[in-house]
Amino acid sequence: MTDHTVVLRNVSKIYRQNSLAVHALTDINLDIPKQDFACLSGPSGSGKSTLLNLIGGLDKPSSGEISVDGQRVDQLGKSELAQLRLRKIGFVFQAYNLIPVLNARENVEFVMQLQGMAADERGDKAMQILKEVGLEGLENRRPGELSGGQQQRVAVARAIVSEPSLVLADEPTANLDSKTATALMEMLVHMNQEHHVTFIFSTHDKLVMDFSRRLIQLRDGKIVEDLRQS
């Protein structure tokens, strides 16, 4: 298990809607090695966002085991899950989820501030990562003063600046034009290779699939295909 960032064993998720049981995921078994660059794909309702949320500890499985970095996510309480997400997992959301009253540098610093890092150190790390994602000179701009692509770069910088083991990205290119989306994916490949971060994407976007080294296709809550790409 130590060679894998994520391990799922017989994971199922059932939602209750009135008297109906909706099987969002059924008996999922999955191993994500360290530094993988994997993509969950499939039609709407296939279970990919549910699977991403379970891995990130944002939701609990109905049954089965989920481990991140050797730690059983499904057995953790709320405060332990919060610490796991703070220390081990970075999130990149479709809607960016930046704090509008904070500038780019302050948004990137936010996670490190929660971790208790000293102001000087987190300021230096924030500036370094903003430079790496091509936003040097824009660190004092608030989200409303940045383009969609620039906001997504801030979100990526925030997700990886604290050096998590895993980054989960839900439809990261959904609001971007193809040129900006390509630049973003090239940047994420660099982050994966240089920072040794494991990435798991959830997407409909063929561009993201083409960049991914592994395609995991879901349909009706089950993995129907798991392919390695060169």
Walk me through the domains of the chain, giving residue ranges and CATH numbers: 34-62+73-228 (3.40.50.300)
Which of 135, 109, 133, 136 lies closest to 121, judged by CA? 109
pLDDT digits (tens, 9 = 90+) for 180-218: 889 889 988 988 998 889 999 999 899 999 999 999 999
Q: What angle, 0 to 180 degrees and rounded to 10, lies between the N-to-C axes of helices 104-114 and 119-132?
A: 130
Query: pTM to 2 decimals?
Result: 0.89
For residue 163, give the 3-state DSSP assignment: coil
Q: Is the pLDDT of residue 95 over 80?
A: no
Average pLDDT over residues 12-40: 93
Average pLDDT over residues 54-58: 93
> In whole numbers, what is the pLDDT of the chain averaged over residues?
90
**Cα 188 from Cα 199, distance rounded (Å):** 8
pLDDT digits (tens, 9 = 90+) for 131-152: 888 899 999 999 999 998 899 8
H helix or E strand, kind and range, residue 150:
helix 148-160
pLDDT for 230 equals 66
